[in-house]
Chains A and B, each alone.
Chain A
Amino acid sequence: MKHANKNIVIIGGGPCGMEAAYRLKNEGMNVILVEKGPSLGGHLACWDRLFPESIKADDLLDILKNNISDVNCFLNTEIIKMNLRNDAYDIELSNGITVLARAVLFATGFDIFPAEKKEEYGYGIYNKVITNKDLEQYFKTGKDERIPANPKNIGFIHCVGSRDEKIGNRQCSKVCCATAVKQACEIKERFPDANVYSFYMDLRMFGRHYEDLYYKAQHECGVRFIRGRVSEISENKEGKLIVKAEDTLMGKPIKITMDLVVLMAGMKNSEAGIKTAGQLAVLRDDDGFFNSEDSFYNLEKSAYRGIFFAGTCLGPKTIPETINEARSAVLSIKEYVESFAND
């Protein structure tokens, strides 16, 4: 038997990293969770409610946090160096601590597509254009000066930074359709007199109960779904937004004046995760997300010994999928660590 190194470094303190930390701790591993931000939770901490049942994001976050109250978590910490040495990774952290880890789990998550890059939609230029994340913050805090008191027309624009070769992101971000439908229902509940429009290419309501949400949006909330991509947004003299699109079902160009437009910004691989992975020359696919050993049977394994992946660093996915992937990675890491014990 060599040495019983059961140190596991998890990079990323979002839902994936937290769930993996909890399960690895239960398997008797020494877990070190490294989070670059000042708190745990990742994007989940910015969200108000989760589709399809509209459960509170904070309720899930509390569960995940409570599970790892006794795990070593380093906040505001980044990986400075990472080198493979004798079947373990010598990892230097920005807080001065060095860890010799048997395995490393990348749970580095995703970045929300910077909506200002879709310049024709005017995020950061026009006051009344916000993103899905901004809207969740508003739902959570009730504060956002950009959102008018009594909006008459509100538009949701799907696929901002997704399925769009022009800005270099060809992939579907998977969760934005359901998020848009959820948010459309929620904003209709908040502003019952408003007309809510949803501009979509095609609605990918793939999960259980998602179709029910879509049904509710149409039949209970009266959300008007328009199949067509918005070509541009501009602002009129009153500060209202002029949205131009093509209604592909009617075969006509349309122009609607809006009081608020919400851009459903998609997912891209985390820049911080990419930077960290760059130290090991971890391969990425054309879509920018990390490459697994294979995409069917060894999704959580990388091409490198002791390096594992889970969650949205492998591509867009829902929170339940992320949590399941974290658990799957834990099994693989456990097998990997035990393989040394049996030598």
Chain B
Amino acid sequence: MIYEGKKKIWSEYQKDIPDDHYFYARSCIRQMFFTASEQAFLEITRKLMGKDIFETEHHTTCGGIAYHCDAIPQETSMTIIARQFALMKKYGYENFVCSCITSFGLYNETLETWRRFPEVEAKVKEDLWESCHLEFAKPKFLAHTCDLIYKYRERIASMAKYRLVNVKTGRPLRVVEHIGCHYSKMFPSKGFGGAEYPYVLVGMVESWGGEIIDYPERRHCCGFGFRQYFIQSDRGYSLANTYKKFESMEPYEPDMIITNCPGCTYFMDRWQYVIAETQGKTYGGKGHGIPVLTYEEVAGLVLGYDPWDLGLQTHQVGSEPLLDKMGIKYDPAKKYLGVNGKFIGEPEKSPC
């Protein structure tokens, strides 16, 4: 591995985005999968960084899942997206930041479609006015929320209470990073670091003290993929991909996995349980899985947020081994207590 070669590629894929004043669009699935990630993003950016990140309850899904599953045509998704952008303008913003990788890819695809086919843009403009009476607009800058955390990574490092370092050995934690396909594979120039050796998560991990693992199946699908999960009736297509990745990363003994896509986090977290049940195999040592975290969760841990406030108890793979390695203090008794100490239930094995 020639690290300088990677740095050269990274230097060629840098994008200019403002560090403040964004209209924020949530993901339709992340709030269910990783309940506090989006809230952590808002806490970090608004409260700690003092940034102006605006959101409204009037925005909707981008339509990405329906579009990629062929349930709606591109024209429909483009009109939905035009409405999101129109809301951005209505509330006085020029910069758009979204939480979902699928959305980020689809927003880029839509903007590129409009750039190449002005007649399509004109038609969407008409459809938007006819259906919503909203004024058409395009964002001056489009960013994904991981782009902003990447941009703030050194500030986060300077405010860090914990580092991605094993407090017992002093060794940097070994981290697998996994980038959502729709972040930069469609438009390499839209992502920090490009498509083949993306830097956005690597940059965060390096700044926060960790060490990145480059394993053979690094680029391989996480196991989601709209075609193989939603369209195929056999979930084995999905599971086989995840299994292949874990088999490939196993010799490197990763301490954790960080991702920037809702699907990747979900599938790499949940399928570990299925692999453990069906194959009797775990990858994290001592019968544990490898914790799979979103970048907001990792940033939150580094900044000293309570792991249970970050929603780590909703992950399939327990995060305690990681917390112990980082030296993070946590109360095991509070793991399944929600707001106002209310018991939220805890996982139990299905009887069937």
Contacts and interface: CB of A to CB of B under 8 A. Distances in A.
Interface string A123-149: 011110000000000000000000000
Nearest to A241: B216
A236 B2 contact: no
A127 B3 CA distance: 10
Contacts of B170: none
Nearest to B214: A235
Interface in B285-335: none
A235 B216 CA distance: 5
A30 interface: no
Given A127-B1, A232-B219, A119 B195 contact: yes
B86 to A, nearest CB: 34
A155 to B, nearest CB: 15
Interface string A109-130: 0000000100110101111000
Given A125-B197, A126-B1, A127-B1, A119 B9 contact: yes
A125 B1 contact: yes
A234 interface: yes
A7 B101 CA distance: 63
Interface string A207-223: 00000000000000000
B281 interface: no
B5 interface: yes
B2 A125 contact: yes
B219 A127 contact: no
B7 to A, nearest CB: 10
Contacts of B216: 234-236, 242
Name, among A116, A125, A234, A242, the residue most crowded by chain B CB atoms within 10 Å (CB to CB): A125
Interface string B1-35: 11001101100000000000000000000000000
A2 interface: no
Interface residues of B, number: 18
B197 A119 contact: yes
A252 interface: no
B5 A116 contact: yes
A3 interface: no
B252 interface: yes
Interface in A212-257: 232, 234-237, 239, 242
Contacts of B252: 237
Contacts of A232: 196, 219
Contact of A126 (B2, B194, B217, B218): B2
A126 B197 CA distance: 12
B259 to A, nearest CB: 18
A126 B252 CA distance: 17
Interface size class, chain A: 10 to 19
B186 to A, nearest CB: 12
B264 to A, nearest CB: 18
Contacts of B194: 119
Name, among B6, B216, B217, the residue most crowded by chain A CB atoms within 10 Å (CB to CB): B216
B347 interface: no
A125 B6 contact: yes
B178 to A, nearest CB: 14
Contacts of B195: 119
B251 interface: yes
Interface in B192-225: 194-197, 214-219
Contacts of A122: 5
Nearest to B4: A124
B216 to A, nearest CB: 4
Contact of A124 (B2, B219, B251): B2
Contacts of A120: 196, 219
Nearest to A233: B216
Contacts of B214: 234-235
A121 to B, nearest CB: 9
Contact of B8 (A124, A234, A235): A124
Contacts of B217: 234
B196 A119 contact: yes
B218 A234 contact: yes
Contacts of A237: 215, 251-252
Contacts of B5: 116, 122, 124-125
Contacts of B196: 119-120, 232
A234 B219 contact: yes
A197 to B, nearest CB: 18
A93 to B, nearest CB: 33
B115 to A, nearest CB: 18
Nearest to B3: A125
Contacts of A124: 2, 5, 8
A6 to B, nearest CB: 48
A232 B219 CA distance: 9
Given A124-B2, A234-B215, 11 more contacts: A119-B194, A120-B196, A122-B5, A125-B1, A125-B197, A126-B1, A235-B216, A237-B215, A237-B252, A239-B1, A242-B216
8 shortest interchain CB distances as A-B pairs: A124-B5, A119-B196, A125-B5, A242-B216, A234-B216, A236-B216, A237-B251, A120-B196
15 contacts: A119-B9, A120-B196, A124-B2, A125-B5, A125-B9, A126-B1, A234-B217, A234-B218, A235-B214, A236-B215, A236-B216, A237-B215, A237-B251, A239-B1, A242-B216
